[in-house]
Copies of this chain bind each other. A is one copy, B any other.
């Protein structure tokens, strides 16, 4: 009976997983931001927000790694396409699914904390001022920040993300345990949260910013969600993709191209393979120079 419930199209199954995984990632991230912001114990509680996306990454990856590869970030999908590990034709469906998941997560956070937001803000959904609640959902630049610097910020942040997660599945290097990769990725995202969030809140994920920004437009924050800071919304939407590819090339240049020859193809001890049927997805985190995951 179970099998009749399986969606026939692999791409649809993968996109469903990316929707749900990104939902989990963004739900943890933004619900924590809401809880921290809207509480009275601001100082110490604000620190908790740094742990929110990491836990979301861990939970979202365990949920979806065996189905969709757990990208949960259009910049990650793009980098995998550039590397030849993921088919280009899946880039757009994946990205849209990730944005949809983030949109839905922001919607549930808005519903759950609606009364808290109203209580905190005095009943006004505002994107600026002392009672603003928009940055629970999307990122915004510090006042001192120029456009060029915010571009640099997002390039560097996303480059660091790709540089640090790409080696985790490389068998010729010292990979993290395959079944603990979500935890190590979570640790790295935590590190990025405390290090590259100072200028403009460290989106480093187009879906994490754009989906919730659409949600705030939907629920009544106004078109200023897109026009504010001189249409700044494009920076976290576009620039992480550039940063991700840059980080990927630095990784190739300094690490992957310097590793010894891969093992001969008959090696059967692929740490990433959970079952044969899932080999294609499961190897997303693994190294490879030719295209894998050509299903559908």
Chain A residues close to B by CB (< 8 Å) = 1-3, 5-7, 13, 16-17, 19-20, 24, 27-28, 31-32, 34-36, 38-39, 41-52, 55-56, 58-59, 61-67, 70, 108, 111-116, 118-119, 142, 144-146, 149, 152-153, 156, 160, 163-164, 167-168, 170-184, 186-188, 190-191, 194-199, 250-261, 263, 274-275, 277-278, 282, 289
Contacts and interface: CB of A to CB of B under 8 A. Distances in A.
B255 A188 contact: no
B179 A175 contact: yes
A50 to B, nearest CB: 6
A61 to B, nearest CB: 8
Given A44-B43, A179-B176, A260-B275, A112 B24 contact: no
B275 A145 contact: no
Contacts of A55: 187-188, 190-191, 194-195
A191 B252 CA distance: 33
25 contacts: A6-B258, A13-B258, A24-B164, A32-B191, A34-B198, A43-B44, A44-B46, A48-B50, A52-B191, A52-B195, A55-B188, A55-B194, A62-B167, A62-B168, A62-B173, A65-B173, A67-B173, A67-B259, A111-B152, A116-B144, A118-B144, A119-B142, A172-B278, A177-B177, A183-B187
